[in-house]
Amino acid sequence: MNSETLSTQPRTPTPRTLVIASRESRLAMWQAEHVQAALHKLYPSCDVKIVGMTTRGDQILDRTLSKVGGKGLFVKELEQALAEGRADLAVHSLKDVPMDLPEGFALAAIMEREDPRDAFVSNDHDSLAALPAGSIVGTSSLRREAMLRARYPHLQVKPLRGNLDTRLAKLDRGDYAAIILAAAGLKRLGLGARIRALIEPGDSLPSAGQGALGIEIRADRADVAAWLAPLHDDATAKAVEAERMVSRALGGSCSVPLAAYAQWRDGALHLRGTIATPDASRVLDAAGMSPAASVDDALKLGREVSDALIAQGALDIVRALAEAAQAEGAPNTPPGAAQGGAQPGRTDEADDAPSDAR
């Protein structure tokens, strides 16, 4: 794994107790319970507990993440619990995790990926192509907004706030003709029947890490890393590490419509990355492939794709959006981005978040 992922697997005794820190949203608790069940199966005598927490990101209901500090708002309280020893691990949707973790923390395991695609949800229409001109489509993801504006300029795109249940309720009361959500969250909560159509990556490229779960621990907890090692899925890890490298290299923040998705085909890892302006007046695209025998190979692939985007002018988009965010007073503008430098950042949306669309 790279520097943010532990691979040390020392021989350690079976754990007696493990405490999982989790946000309290329904989807976040499902994710924590999923890991809890997996740990119970591995260590039947271990008492695996879940401690629910309300994060700063959960408390902000009226503004998008790009205006209030980014998706790190959804992990800071969980990391504080890890640092203080109140929890042993925290479970995250990987696309909610900053590209570079704070010093002292590491991703100990990346679990097998759920469906990474976006989902079209509507009560009256079968697909985006079937929506009449002027129909209102809900999403607060800049990535999805750019996709919609590029492919369906005749539709209206409007913000969609609230957790997953709130967003579905807004659709049901007629505020939107359709909404775009992540398929993984709907399936995990048993709401797969609400999906009218899955949007293929060729039409809506997923966010880096979409559909994958990451388990974060303190970097000095080699014992916890060893206990979590059986949950790690190598194929998923290589794919999402390549994706996250694209975002890391481009300084992807909540104000940048950036996507990166890698999938295995015929024994090779195929990676595609895109970056756009929110109005889709400019869309850049690059792709590459590698046998990816190691995580280092996957990271190299991610860098090659990000370099191809940079050669097309990706940093011009990053710089312009950073300047716009600074002008609006957004606190999560990547340092130096206004001067065109690529800085570590976050992708454009958060799972089950009050402010950004899943």
Active site residues: 96
User: Bridge-partner residues for 18, per DSSP?
Assistant: 48
Whose structure tokens read 């708002």? 73
Cβ neighbours of residue 34 under 8 Å, at least 6 residues apart?
A: 91, 188, 213
Reading phi first (left if > 0) and then psi (alpha if -120 to 50, else beta), residue 251 is in left
Instruction: Using alpha carbons, select from 278, 250, 234 the residue that is nearest to residue 347.
Output: 250
